[in-house]
Amino acid sequence: MKKKPLTRSESREVTRERLIAAAEKAFIRRGFAASSVEQIAESAGFSRGAFYSNFRNKEELFIEVLKVKRREIDGALEEIVRRETDPAARLRAVLDWYVNQDFNKGWAILKSEFTLHALRNRAARSRIAEFNRQRVEHYSSLLARYFADSGVTSPGRPDVIALILFGAASGLNDLALLEPDAERRKRYTECLDLVFTQMLPPYL
């Protein structure tokens, strides 16, 4: 049976997805500034013209990479919530995921690239700030859901706790990436776990 040919809309979506995936790899490997439109298009198997048929410029593609990452993060966290029915086990799983996500080298490089670019570009700065706000809001909603389901009293506003944990994870992650010694890098994970247990006693 012949495979049904893609519609024009479907074909365009496939092209966009391949360009976004190629851009993510390029930004990790070479950085945003050093990754050219031509390199990204060629890596995805398309021409420069195909790139500009889908994106106005590299900046727009940069934002689309962020949006895809945002959906991946939301999906991963929602999967944990569905899988873990016990409130305490769910919270522990979410926080463990949080640590592993922020200590992922590829994601850390992307975040650094996005931040560096945003510091030099006002429009990009507002977008990355919104991206970070959305992350904190999602973590905040998960914490609020945990406190409601478990019946325990929150030691503070969920949005404040989420922001503290987000800041601690980001800062410790940056320090860990610069540490060449593997054993010393483990200390940053221990530090982050301590922050979690101090902010959410005796729930972890």
Question: Does a structural domain hold residue 147?
Answer: yes
**Encoded amino acid at 3, one letter:** K
Runs of H (alpha helix) within the chain: 8-29, 37-44, 48-54, 58-83, 87-102, 105-120, 122-150, 158-177, 182-199
Mean pLDDT per 10-residue run, the chain (204 residues)? 71 93 91 91 94 91 86 85 83 76 71 82 83 86 82 85 87 80 81 82 59
34 is in which domain, residue-wise?
1-55
Q: pTM of this prediction?
A: 0.72
Same-domain check for residues 78 and 118: yes
Query: Is residue 162 within 8 Å of residue 143, measured between CB atoms?
Result: yes
User: What is the rounded CA–CA span in Å between residue 78 and residue 101?
Assistant: 15
Same-domain check for residues 152 and 119: yes
